[in-house]
């Protein structure tokens, strides 16, 4: 969550409620879907306002591990 996620999302009690609350996002969506979303949001939802994140494999793994 070090890539500016808190600028648009709330996680727990931290962040800005512009985008969806990510506190329990993995309970709602599969890890495969979240990985696709993180990689290319506009491919999952063309009108998404989320930028494509350019994360290393290690950063992506840490991101997925942080989701509840």
Structure pTM? 0.71
Half-sphere exposure for 40 (CA within 13 Å, toward CB): 3
Range of the domain at 48: 5-66
Count of domains for the chain: 1
pLDDT at 17: 93
> 19-35: per-residue pLDDT in tens?
899 888 889 999 888 88
Nearest 5°: the CA angle 49, 59, 41 is 20
CATH number at residue 22: 1.10.760.10
Residues whose CB is less than 8 angstroms from the CB of residue 28 and which lie 6 or more positions away in sequence, other chains included = none
Report how far residue 14's alpha carbon sits from residue 46's, in angstroms, rounded to the nearest whole number.
Answer: 27
Q: Would you state the pLDDT for residue 7? A: 87
Pick 62 or 42 by higher pLDDT: 42
Q: Does residue 6 contact residue 15 with C-beta atoms inside 8 Å?
A: yes
């Amino acid at each position: 969550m070090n890539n500016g996620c808190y600028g648009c999302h709330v996680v727990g009690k931290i962040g800005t409620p512009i985008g969806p609350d990510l506190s329990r996002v993995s309970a709602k969506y599969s890890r495969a879907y979240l990985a696709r979303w993180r990689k290319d949001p506009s491919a999952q939802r063309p009108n998404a306002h989320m930028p494509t994140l350019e994360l290393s494999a290690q950063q992506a793994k840490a991101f997925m591990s942080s989701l509840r």
